[in-house]
């Protein structure tokens, strides 16, 4: 049994989200489209959402990895180079990106987030339609055409692959697979496989090559309450319930204490409407429980917002007594964003805030001259079914020494619910934290904050020897010529030049 500290360290090491869903959890049936074929090409397949809610997509049409940071509406980074129709993708907690490159290059590549270079991580003879890295740094690949799942320990210099599931021949016995797609490895190193043509989810317990049918038809099935038709994706939640992508039935299924039920795409037919899917391939959850689906037949990525998640007990994803202290000590992230306790016995979650410009840290702030006006603009995403009323509050702290001196926001500084306007010559030289706090009305526990750091720097003095700084003057022999830089020079940072 893990100790509390071991349990904390384990979950901190996970790169993917393990949401806690209640038995009545539901999602809004009408999805929003994150990306369509103009962004991610046609026949989109693999998607991964990490614990920071960064979204990674394997763009197999354009041979790229597309990345969305900070709830952006379009990709903020693209990685490409010698990729061949990538189908699947997995990102580890240290930011390494593993991507299928098997169509013509017959391998899995590892990229760093900088995207400058890649190295082979696994040599294979075909494409991987599912990738997974477990907490023991073992990389798994599901080989559709070879009817097998293989694995390799990443800390071993040997390139030898070990069979994790399947015999290499298509079949429906407990030891066989027929066109495996998505895979998932749980905390006990048990392997779940979406066994497409056998219309089942196979569970291979750690070290076992004979599988148990966890969902779908099959002798010895753990759960025969659902009939599957072409499963291609499988993920689990924190309670080990299954979430299955049904490619041919155009829907996402979920299990729970009362068995299986349809979650999204439940109209009964495939299509392109916002409540429909057409041959969905994979699914991934963000930290709020929102569901991202690669809607392959429609060449789009659909986001289904979590609507209801009401439990009899209250659980928290963070410790409210330590969150603020930990966040204030962070100085190396691009943007500081904090959220208070996420409570699962209500249908609302803390707002998500993106500040623009956002790429700043305490050690690398955004620089503005004191003579400049500037704006900080926010994008606020509400995750609440009960209310859309919010209270926003901007604060400014001087961080030249430590971020503790709060500045009084006077009438010259204009604030709205989404913008902060700093006129020229308002802030003195120094380093500042500009923080936005957003709270849901009548739900003070649902509060989020986001900060940017700015450095106010000197603009410099424009030296003028004469009035208006004219570069050429004409004077007669009877006229005096007086040079007075102390009077005629301009200090753009102050209304009056201090000639001393």
Q: What is the pLDDT of residues 36-93, one digit of tens each?
A: 999 999 989 999 999 989 999 999 999 999 999 877 888 999 998 899 999 999 999 8
Instruction: Mark whether 33 and 163 lie in a shared domain.
Output: yes
Same domain, 109 and 238: yes
Residues 263 and 339 in one domain: no
Residues 302 and 369 in one domain: no
Share of the chain above pLDDT 70, in %: 80
Residue 267: the pLDDT is 86
Q: What pLDDT sits at residue 16?
A: 94
Distance of CA 449 to the CA centre of its chain: 17
Residues 176 and 254 placed together within one structural domain of the fold: yes
500 within some domain? no
pLDDT at 312 over 70: no
In degrees, rounded to 5, the angle at the alpha carbon of residue 327 between the alpha carbons of residues 325 and 332 is: 135
Over residues 143-154, mean pLDDT = 96
348 and 294 part of one domain? no
Task: Write down the pLDDT at residue 442.
Answer: 74
CB atoms within 10 A of CB 400: 14
pLDDT at res. 423: 86
Give me the mean pLDDT over the 177-192 stretch.
96
481 lies in some domain: no
Q: Residues 24, 25, 31, 36: is their CA dihedral positive or negative?
A: negative
- Which SS3 state, helix, strand or coil, does residue 95 take? coil
Given this model, what pLDDT does residue 496 score? 66
Does the pLDDT of residue 459 top 90, yes or no? no
Residue 482 lies in a domain: no
Q: What is the pLDDT of residues 198-234, one digit of tens each?
A: 999 999 999 999 999 999 976 455 656 689 999 999 9
Helix (H, G, I), strand (E, B) or coil at 469: helix
Verify that 138 and 90 share a domain, yes or no: yes
**Beta-carbon contacts of residue 441 (< 8 Å; ≥ 6 apart):** 387, 389, 390, 391
* In the predicted structure, residue 359 carries a pLDDT above the cut 80: no
CATH classification of the domain holding 392:
2.60.40
Q: How far apart are the first and last CA of the chain?
A: 72
> Are the C-beta atoms of residues 38 and 74 closer than 8 Å to each other?
no
Q: pLDDT of 367-395, one tens digit each? A: 888 888 887 888 787 777 665 578 888 88
pLDDT at 448: 87
Q: Are residues 156 and 198 in the same domain?
A: yes
- Whether residue 323 lies inside any domain: the answer is no
- Provide the pLDDT for residue 322: 33
- The kind and range of the H/E element at 349 are strand 348-356
In the three-class reduction of DSSP (H, G, I as helix; E, B as strand; rest coil), residue 353 is classed as strand
Q: What is the 3-state secondary structure (H, E, C) of 74-93?
A: CCCEEEECCCCCCCCEEECC
SS3 of 120-175: EEEECCCCEEEEEECCCCEEEEEECCCCEEEEEECCCCCCCCEEEECCCCECCCCC
Looking at per-residue pLDDT, the higher value among 357 and 270 belongs to: 270
pLDDT of residue 446: 82
What is the distance between the alpha carbons of residues 248 and 281, in angstroms, rounded to a whole number?
10
Q: What's the CATH number where 249 sits?
A: 2.120.10.30
User: Does 325 fall in a domain?
Assistant: no
Domain enclosing residue 114, as ranges? 9-308
Q: Name the burial class of residue 174, with classes exposed (0-12), middle (13-18) and buried (19+) by CB atoms within 10 angstroms of its CB.
A: middle
Q: Which of 7-21, 124-138, 333-347 has the highest mean pLDDT?
A: 124-138
Residue 194 confidence (pLDDT) above 80: yes
Q: Are residues 255 and 218 in the same domain?
A: yes
The whole-angstrom separation of Cα 63 and Cα 47 is 14
Q: How many residues can be counted in the chain?
A: 500
Q: Is 449 inside any structural domain?
A: yes
Q: Are residues 281 and 403 in the same domain?
A: no
Query: Minimal CA–CA distance to 179: which of 169, 192, 164?
Result: 169
Q: How many domains does the chain have?
A: 2
Do 174 and 227 contact (CB within 8 A), yes or no? no
Residue 322: inside a domain: no
Does 387 lie in the same domain as 269? no
Average of per-residue pLDDT values in the chain: 82
Q: What is the mean pLDDT of residues 269-295?
A: 95
Six token digits for residue 357: 């410009």
β-bridge pairing 26-27 and 55-59 = unpaired
Q: Which range (10-14, 23-27, 316-320, 421-425) has the least confidence?
A: 316-320
Answer whether residue 241 shows pLDDT above 80.
yes
Whether 466 is in a domain gets the answer no
Of 130-139, 271-280, 394-403, the poorest mean pLDDT is in 394-403
More confident residue, 271 or 346: 271
Q: Before 357, cis peptide (omega within 30)?
A: yes
pLDDT of 308 above 70: yes
The CA distances from residue 371 to 400, 419, 491, in Å, are 19, 20, 9
For residues 69 and 139, give the distance between their C-alpha atoms in angstroms, rounded to a whole number.
Answer: 25
Task: Specify the pLDDT at position 326.
Answer: 32
pLDDT at 477: 73
Task: Mark whether 393 and 435 lie in a shared domain.
Answer: yes
């Amino acid at each position: 049994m893990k100790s509390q500290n071991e349990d904390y360290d384990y979950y901190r090491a996970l790169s993917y989200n393990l949401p806690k869903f209640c038995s009545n959890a539901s999602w809004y049936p009408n999805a929003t489209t994150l990306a369509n074929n103009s962004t991610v090409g046609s026949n989109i397949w693999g998607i991964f959402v990490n614990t920071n809610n960064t979204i990674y997509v394997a763009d197999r049409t354009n041979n790229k990895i597309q990345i969305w940071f900070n709830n952006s509406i379009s990709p903020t980074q693209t990685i490409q180079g010698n990729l061949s129709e990538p189908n699947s993708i997995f990102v580890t907690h240290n930011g390494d990106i593993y991507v299928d490159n098997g169509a013509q290059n017959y391998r899995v590549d590892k990229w760093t987030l900088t995207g400058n270079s890649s190295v082979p991580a696994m040599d294979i003879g075909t494409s991987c339609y599912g990738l997974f890295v477990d907490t023991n740094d073992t990389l798994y690949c599901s080989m559709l055409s070879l009817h097998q799942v293989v694995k390799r320990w990443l800390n071993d210099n040997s390139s030898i692959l070990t069979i994790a599931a399947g015999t290499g021949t298509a079949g429906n016995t407990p030891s066989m697979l027929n066109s495996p797609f998505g895979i998932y490895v749980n905390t006990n190193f048990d392997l779940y496989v979406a066994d497409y043509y056998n219309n089942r989810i196979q569970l291979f317990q750690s070290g076992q090559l004979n599988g148990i049918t966890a969902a779908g038809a099959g002798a010895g099935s753990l759960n025969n309450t659902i009939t599957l038709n072409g499963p291609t994706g499988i993920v689990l939640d924190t309670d080990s319930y299954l979430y299955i992508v049904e490619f041919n039935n155009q829907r996402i299924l979920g299990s729970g204490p009362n068995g299986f039920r349809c979650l999204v795409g439940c109209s009964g037919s495939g299509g392109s409407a916002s409540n429909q899917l057409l041959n969905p391939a994979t699914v991934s959850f963000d930290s709020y429980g929102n569901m991202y689906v690669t809607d392959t037949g429609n060449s789009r990525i659909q986001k289904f917002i979590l609507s209801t998640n009401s439990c009899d007990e209250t659980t928290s994803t963070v410790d409210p007594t330590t969150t603020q202290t930990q966040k204030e000590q962070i100085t190396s992230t691009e943007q500081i964003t904090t959220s208070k306790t996420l409570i699962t016995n209500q249908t609302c979650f803390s707002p998500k805030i993106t500040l623009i410009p956002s790429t700043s840290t305490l050690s690398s702030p955004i620089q503005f001259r004191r003579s400049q006006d500037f704006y900080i603009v926010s994008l606020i995403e509400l995750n609440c079914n009960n209310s859309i009323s919010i209270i926003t509050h901007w604060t400014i702290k001087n961080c030249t020494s430590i971020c503790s001196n709060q500045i009084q926001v006077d009438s010259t500084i204009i604030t709205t619910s989404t913008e902060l306007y700093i006129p020229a010559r308002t802030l003195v030289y120094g380093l500042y934290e500009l923080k936005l706090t957003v709270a849901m009305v009548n739900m003070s526990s649902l509060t989020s904050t986001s900060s940017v750091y700015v450095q106010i720097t000197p603009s410099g003095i424009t030296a003028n020897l004469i009035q208006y700084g004219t570069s050429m003057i004409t004077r007669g022999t009877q006229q005096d010529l007086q040079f007075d830089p102390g009077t005629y020079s301009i200090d753009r940072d102050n209304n009056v030049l201090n000639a001393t």
